[in-house]
Structure 1
Amino acid sequence: MRRDIFTPDHEAFRELVRDVVAKEVVPHYTEWERAGRLPRETFHHLGSLGLLGMAIPEQYGGGGVADYRYNVVLQEEAARALVTLGTVRTQLDVILPYFLAYADAGQRERWFPGLASGRLLTAIAMTEPGTGSDLAGIRATAERDGENYVLNGAKTFITGGLLADLVIVVARTSTEPDDRRAGLTLLVVEDGMPGFTRGRVLEKMGIKAQDTVELAFDQVRVPVANRLGEEGAAFGYLGHNLPQERLTVAVGSVAQARAALDATVAYVKERTVFGKPVASFQNTKFELASVATEVEAAQAMLDRAVLALIDGELSGADAAKTKLFCTEVQARAVDRCLQLFGGYGYMQEYAIARLYTDARITRIYGGTSEVMKVIVAKSLGL
């Protein structure tokens, strides 16, 4: 079905991204999966092409175009090529919005040129061992000491934390017995600060080219000048960006489900069983027809949510509905597609195996499907 959310400028950007992914990503992707991360040079190259700084003001070397649809195109074209750029997506869609919204003039001068060029890599450290989705339960502390905060605590499941030059850390600067959400603050920890250490790189079942690590902070002195926004206001900041973060997961889910469908259609036309193409069997036709229909429905819902986000009207509940539906569709679609590959679908040499293992995380990170259902239920007055 025809999509009408993109302009000619977006489509020109799509051609650039498609070319870059084909030439600079696909040939090296297997190597990056083995290494467990994208190399710094890749970020530098993407930055030199203007792909990382579209939303950053022109005075800092960016494009000055705060249009989320460019981020959508980047994810869609990576998925089309059967790869993912998880750390790039996290930097652009999840972390950069905090800098854009809350960095003061001095911080913009210090950090924005490096963010636009790909010379400064970022991560955000929210999740702690034992807290999961409960951001109000954060135990990392930051005590004010003159012109510094003294930061202590541990974080886990941190995407991009291995190479990050700037880590936005959510820490508790005060405690309000009657309001667990109050007293959280965003502090930017810089690589090399004494007491900041990176723990083990976590081994994951999927998204192998995306590094995920543990971080530790032991008496780290973080200058007050590295605080993002107001002290104690972080919970509201986090909630403000969550709709986009969840929509970003949904964008990847639909794009990867569509990629799985396309790869499977091509495969069943070529693969023969009992002397006939797998595509000729009624079960194959029915399975793929069902997948195509679900993906189309998810795409329509997603496109509507993208436009709502651009207009500043995407509610937390609608973002939760979109993430819930699109990630569940992805799970069903990739599973049904892999089945049609038979035993070959279980082999890592086929992209469908990677799509399958990568898909499992989407119903967990950014808020689990169960948390999404709670949010939707609350919007119904339940």
Structure 2
Amino acid sequence: MPQRDAASPGPDTAGSSGRSFRLTCAPDKRELVEALLAATGHAWAPEPFSPWCRRLTAEPTPLGSSLAARFGYLHIQDRSSMLPPLLLAPPAGARVLDMCAAPGGKTGFVAQLVGPTGFVLGNEPSPDRLATLRQTLFRENLANAATCAQADLEPFFPEGFFSHILLDPPCSGWGTLDKNPQAARIWAGDKVAPLVALQRRLLATAARLLAPGGRLLYSTCTTNVAENEAQTRFALDHLPLLAVPLSPPAGFVFEAPARADVSGVLRVDSRASAAQGFYLALFEKTGGRVAAPEGRELPGAPVPEAALRAAGCDPAGLPPGEVRDFGGKAFFLHAGAAGLPAGLRYQGQALGTYRAGVFRPHARARLLLGPWREGAGLNEAALCRIEALLAGQSLTAEGPAARPGLYFRGLPLGFATRKGSRILWSDR
């Protein structure tokens, strides 16, 4: 039978039919992002399990096409999918690996949790899914993350390199049948065996890459016992991992574990929680070695800070690290990337172009926009002029900047383009 934690009442089913989403901004920008959402007529209720998470109560237009979404200030995400980063709970400054990272919702949430001094490496072997992951991190301006595409990470990293690891491996998806009704047929019977084998290989790799005392969060969006409790039992019996009992987050209803020899895990009751069926297990590494980052020089050629300032950018919004030039394309590489092993190909946050000594920020690189000041561009109190600009109209703006800033009540949105005395919007 479903279990409800006494301190964690289930969701208000009368208001839980709306989609859930997560704010992707600095803590001091939450009210401004909510004002931008309210200006487009959207309403929401706070989720009880995280100050970052919300549930829609009114959606007059699709949330995904709202201005807040367009400018990367929210991420639409199932309630259950928000739990793995929260239950992994990496502290500020942690070095985290997301082993199967696309489409990027969990990677981005982990990047928020570890803060500017923390570093997240998101790995995604599939080229198509890698592109989606990178676009997610780019749109949400999460510059303390980097991405790579390795089918097997083990040859690249020494033992004990990461303090925290998130493993949400490919699974049968039986917990998402309301959205993917074919999942049960595609992965019926013995067809799931290759997934089970892959999950065990990934668990073994994660256990080796985890530092002693480090934590590994294993999660799936399936109800299949072979991919859930059986994998937990495998990890405890064959890997240097101890179980860490999970406390039920508020706002969810959980089912009992499907095996008597497994405890302290969480199974989201999909119907009662108005969320996908999810399984979560937390482990801690016992013994082993700690690998200290070697601190090698970042790749690419440095882009001088003076070039950023000459373009009207404020580098103060960047976390620790450097802007580097790769054949005319400028990327931000977090300081944590300097510890990545030689031979690992990875990519940081795209910021714009750097040619002939001139830096040109990408329109979406809002983290390079400093606080609003007179002459910096447009700072609009209402949406009409912003919507006109996005619809292709040109507007006037004071100031000499070649790429004027676009703000909503002081909330940075991006860089516009100047053409003479007029400014235009382009997504490039």
Q: TM-score range by the shorter chain?
A: under 0.3
The structure with the largest alpha-carbon Rg is 2
TM-score (norm 2): 0.22
More helix by percentage: 1
Report the TM-score, using the length of structure 1 for normalisation.
0.24
